[in-house]
Chains A and B, each alone.
Chain A
Amino acid sequence: MSLDLNKVAGSIESMANELAIENSKRVDALNTAIDKFEKPGDINALKHRLDQAKTSWLLAEIPGSLNCRFDPPPLPADHSVLATDGSQIDIDRHHPARCCLINIGSVMLQYGRNHGSFLESEPTLFSKTEELALKPEDGNPGREISIEGPLLGIIRTVEEFRYLARLASRLPADLPALALVDGSLIMWGLMSKDLPDYLVDIMLDKGVLKYINQIEDLNSKHPVALASYISFPRSTDVINSLRIAACPQQVPDCDKFCIGITVNERPCDIVAGVNDRELFWTCLADSQRSDIFISQSKISKTRYGHHRVYFFYLKTGNEIARVEIPEWVALKPELLGITHSLVLEQCRKGQGYPVALSEAHELAVVSGADRQNFFYLVDEYFIDYRLSTSISAKSASKKNRWI
């Protein structure tokens, strides 16, 4: 017997009922958040309090205004959009072949006079001992880490940026361009305390940031913006900043003033339970973007330098998206404008989601059937070379079901 949905249906109904009750309470919180957003009072005072606040949640730094909205600038008639996305087959510890695979989909779409496209998927196999583990360079001390699980995901992200930079270097040098990746620009996976420092150096300084640098350098020839697109974001950075606006203390300090107070009873809980997406769905008109904010993520603040991550929210018509950009894009109006108008147009062409990212995903995706075929192919070569293809008893038991 597999999953018996009849047995869980009652619990699902209870969950829906509880959420419906909670939603009705959240309407008040959302209205309060909108009110605080529209009338934040002295914005400079709020910025000062945000600087000094000691909170357990991530705040959005406000470099400009809090509540300005921007219509998209005109779309450049001739432009290019690049995107990469990746997928992976992790090491199967039940299979005799110790190997993994990363597949990167790359897309370049050129619009206007010389319209055209380039679509490619590139798989890379990792099977050699030195490819399957990372260790400190130049004989420095530090433990070796096996490339599998979350680390493989981090390497995949680095590969996405490497392919994006390579693709960007082939751009026509006379057109404005936007390079897009899916998800966040912030390497949240590297914030794990389990990872040694040398690994962060390899993945960030010699990885993602190096490739972002290469894309930035292209701006000496033509405008090239870089952005990441987060569909249906659940972040609460801006709402958290509104919590500070709601806090009665001059210098908010959660541990000092609210340590004994139950959650939902704190003064700032009047905006609790709402996220940024819900706030901006109400506060933005179609095609408008919010003002820019700065992520207070520790890794972005301390390691990204002038690639520090900024973000804005965009109402694409279908949804509120969070668009993350490096500082050099955020602070240059031309690049910020390109990002706004091209992301919007990409969403329009892509039925609500950027078409370049959608095609990159289609090229990168490794389905269950692909994974199965990959291991069949491995088995065939192993047989040719008289290597063992015996799998674990557990894996065999799952493949050959019996009664």
Chain B
Amino acid sequence: MLIRGDELDEASSRIAEVTQASTAGFFAQCYELFDLPPLGSLIKCRDGDNEILAVTCNARTSSLETGRRPIARGKTESTEEDVFRSNPQLKQLLKSEFEAVVVGHSFNNKYHHYLPPRPIRLHSFVYLCNPDEILEFSRSLEFLTLLAGARTELPSEELIAACVRFIGACHAEPSTFTKEAGKKLAQIFVYDYQKLRTILLRLKL
């Protein structure tokens, strides 16, 4: 049974907005500076009655304008907070954004662990999935195949390991989930022992 996000407090789980989108992934800008979801978090966007689910990666905070690079400002400040206190305009000139790899979608109240028929619309709101949604979605581990094939700046081993750790933390028995995920990854990386070993080491398996 799919649990809808609107049953929860939407405002608190809405963290960002889609600024660039393709079928396999999207970029989103956070509403609050530095308020980035952890690497490997499961997030969702609405697409009409359905949802697109994705895993976060490649978070960054940078200048809003490409031609203006942030410079060091804290030489004479006592704390990092003082840098922002002395330069109150900074929060409006910087942006925190992240990339997300699409790992599934919902259709007819059911999760599907393959790519949706079309990309998410620009300016769609991005929500953190709640623990019930994470448990429901991770009943199937097929999403790991999409994650393994994702092309991001980040090494896929880091992304996969972070995602498994993040989802495992929502399970009553994280080690059981992690072991199941490890078996699935062994199938996916049957011809790439080195990559599998790197991931398993990061999962402490």
List residues of chain A with CB under 8 Å of any chain B CB: 107, 109-112, 115-117, 119, 349, 351, 355, 359, 362
Flag whether B118 is at the interface (Cβ < 8 A). no
Q: Which residue of A has the minimal Cβ distance to B71?
A: A351
Q: In the bound complex, do residue B86 and residue A349 qualify as a contact, i.e. CB atoms below 8 Å apart? A: yes
B86 near A111 with CB under 8 A, answer yes
- In angstroms, Cα B91 to Cα A115, docked, is 11
For B76, the closest partner residue in chain A by CB is: A348
Chain B residues bordering chain A, tally (CB within 8 A): 13
Complex A-B: 14 CB contacts under 8 Å: A107-B89, A109-B88, A109-B89, A112-B85, A115-B88, A117-B88, A117-B89, A119-B93, A349-B73, A349-B86, A349-B87, A355-B89, A362-B65, A362-B68
- Residues from chain A with Cβ under 8 Å of B84 in the complex: 115
Q: Are A115 and B85 touching (Cβ within 8 A)?
A: yes
Q: In the complex, how many angstroms separate the beta carbon of B73 from the nearest chain A beta carbon?
A: 8
Interface: B194 (CB within 8 A): no
> A109 — which chain B residues lie within 8 A by C-beta?
88-89
Q: Which A residues lie within 8 Å of B73 (CB)?
A: 349
* Smallest CB separation, B71 vs chain A (Å): 7
Bitwise, B52-72 to A at CB < 8 A (1) or not (0) is: 000000000000010010010
Which residues of B are in contact with A by a Cβ distance under 8 Å? 65, 68, 71, 73, 84-89, 91-93
CA distance A107 to B84 in the complex (A): 16
- Assembly CA distance A165 to B31 (angstroms): 30
Give bound CA distance, A119 to B87, whole Å: 13
Contact B87 A355 (CB under 8 A): yes
Docked-complex contact B88 and A110, CB < 8 angstroms = yes
Q: A118: nearest residue on chain B (CB-CB)? A: B92
CA distance A362 to B86 in the complex (A): 19
Q: Considering the complex of A and B, which 8 residue pairs feature the smallest CB-CB distances, nearest first?
A: A117-B88, A117-B89, A115-B88, A119-B92, A115-B85, A109-B88, A116-B88, A359-B89
Which A residue's beta carbon lies closest to that of B92?
A: A119
**Assembled-state Cα–Cα distance A359/B84 (Å):** 16
CA distance A116 to B68 in the complex (A): 21
Please give, as numbers and ranges, the residues of chain B lying within 8 Å of A362 by CB-CB distance: 65, 68
A109-B88, A362-B65 given; name 17 further pairs at CB < 8 Å: A107-B89, A111-B86, A111-B88, A115-B84, A115-B88, A116-B88, A117-B89, A117-B91, A119-B89, A119-B92, A119-B93, A349-B86, A349-B87, A351-B71, A355-B87, A359-B89, A362-B68
Question: Which of A109, A115, A359 has the most CB atoms of chain B within a 10 A radius of its CB?
Answer: A115
Q: How distant is the Cα of A112 from the Cα of B91 in the complex, in angstroms?
A: 15
Across the interface, name the chain B residue whose C-beta is closest to A112: B85
Rounded to whole angstroms, the CA-CA distance of A349 and B86 in the bound complex is: 8
Name the residue of chain B whose CB is nearest to the CB of A359: B89
Distance, CA A115 to CA B86, complexed state (A): 8
- The CA of A111 and the CA of B90, in the complex, are separated in Å by 12
Whose C-beta in chain A lies nearest to the C-beta of B87?
A: A349
A215 to B65, CA, bound (A): 32
Q: How far is the CA of A156 from the CA of B130 in the complex (A)?
A: 52
Which residues from A are CB-within-8-Å of B87? 349, 355
Q: What B residues does A349 contact at CB under 8 A?
A: 73, 86-87
Residues of B within 8 A of A111 (CB): 85-86, 88
* CA gap between A117 and B92 in the complex, in Å: 8
Neighbouring A residues of B93 by C-beta, 8 Å: 119, 359
Which chain B positions have C-beta within 8 A of A351?
71
CB distance from A361 to the nearest CB of B (A): 12
